[in-house]
């Protein structure tokens, strides 16, 4: 298995928590309309603005995303789609330099991974990982576990707890007017606070985390950057979000092409 997979999956966990990968808190009518991406409203406090992000993303059924992870001298780029409701599902293709592309499909806590030509069983390019089982194991479990643990409000809760969030100004992200905020959070302090202890554990990073977010007029995140350290390895995550509320179709690979993940 490529060495950069585990770190990339961990980064993906943070992304999913940030944008609200959860099937909970569906609006009363069971449907969520695509936001209009209105111009940013009059400035609110930076902390209040960050708190609104979790509420707004929780009303979105789906979105598309670009992901870049820079860690240990390697840059991994990914393009994906996320379905939040009625069942959480993710399709993400990642590539690191000359390495072959890795495709990840997550449906109802089952992860399918295509290693780009590296087959565990001949003729079966997809590896199946049950996250419930992996969470209890070493190695892959350590990286994949946060996906099922991440709450839609995890990162918003942590960022809102920052004492130094500031409003940087208004900027355009992919043609959409946004407000840019930045700040830091001390994960050790948050882990010691009963109000944020669970969110800090789900976040999975160590020490002080620097973050920047770009929020549109619907309080939806259009871009996020986070500098983190996980298991002693620093990484910078950059995420772009678009196509909120547009239908996506995410299905598992053909059964005949799937092999069970090897025992750790």
SS3 162: coil
pLDDT tier at 25, thresholds 50, 70, 90: very low
Structural domains of the chain in order of their starting residue, each with its CATH number: 5-25+36-252 (2.50.20.20)
Judge residue 221's burial from the number of C-beta atoms within 10 Å of its C-beta, 0-12 exposed, 13-18 middle, 19 or more buried: buried
pLDDT for 151 equals 38
| pTM of the complete model | 0.76
pLDDT tier at 246, thresholds 50, 70, 90: very high
| Rounded average pLDDT over 173-179 | 96
Contact between 137 and 42 under an 8 Å Cβ cutoff? The reply is no
For helices 5-19 and 140-149, angle between their N-to-C axes, nearest 10 degrees: 10
SS3 192: helix
Q: Report pLDDT digits (tens) over 38-50.
A: 545 545 688 888 8
Q: Report pLDDT digits (tens) over 121-168.
A: 888 999 998 877 765 654 444 444 343 333 334 666 677 777 888 999
Helix (H) or strand (E) holding 133: helix 131-134
pLDDT for 88 equals 80
Q: Which of 133, 95, 108, 136 is nearest to 21 (CA)?
A: 108
Q: Report pLDDT digits (tens) over 62-120.
A: 889 898 888 888 888 889 898 878 888 889 898 887 777 889 898 887 889 898 877 87
pLDDT for 123 equals 87
Structure tokens that stand for 17 in this block: 């928590």
How far apart CA 258 and CA 178 sit, in angstroms, is 42
Q: Which residue has the tokens 């997979």?
A: 5
């Amino acid at each position: 298995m490529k060495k950069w997979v585990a770190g990339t999956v961990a980064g993906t966990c943070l992304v999913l928590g940030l944008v609200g990968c959860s099937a909970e808190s569906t609006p009363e009518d069971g449907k969520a309309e695509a936001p209009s991406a209105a111009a940013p409203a009059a400035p609110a406090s930076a902390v209040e603005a960050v708190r609104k992000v979790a509420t707004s993303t929780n009303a979105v059924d789906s979105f598309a995303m670009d992901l870049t992870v820079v860690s240990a001298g390697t840059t991994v780029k990914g393009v994906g789609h996320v379905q939040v409701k009625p069942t959480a599902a993710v399709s993400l293709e990642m590539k690191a330099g000359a390495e072959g592309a890795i495709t990840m499909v997550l449906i109802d806590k089952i992860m399918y991974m295509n290693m780009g030509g590296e087959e565990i069983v001949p003729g079966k390019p997809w590896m199946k990982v049950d996250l419930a089982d992996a969470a209890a194991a070493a190695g892959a479990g350590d990286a994949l576990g946060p996906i099922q643990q991440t709450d839609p409000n995890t990162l918003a809760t942590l960022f809102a707890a920052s004492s130094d969030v500031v409003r940087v100004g208004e900027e355009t992200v992919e043609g959409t007017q946004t407000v840019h905020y930045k700040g830091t959070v001390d994960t050790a302090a948050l882990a010691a606070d009963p109000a944020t202890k669970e969110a800090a554990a789900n976040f999975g990073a160590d020490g002080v985390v620097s973050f920047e977010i770009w929020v549109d007029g619907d309080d939806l995140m259009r871009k996020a950057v986070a500098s983190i350290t996980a298991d002693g390895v620093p990484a910078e995550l950059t995420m772009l979000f678009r196509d909120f509320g547009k239908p996506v179709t995410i299905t598992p690979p053909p059964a005949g092409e799937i092999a069970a993940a090897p025992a750790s």
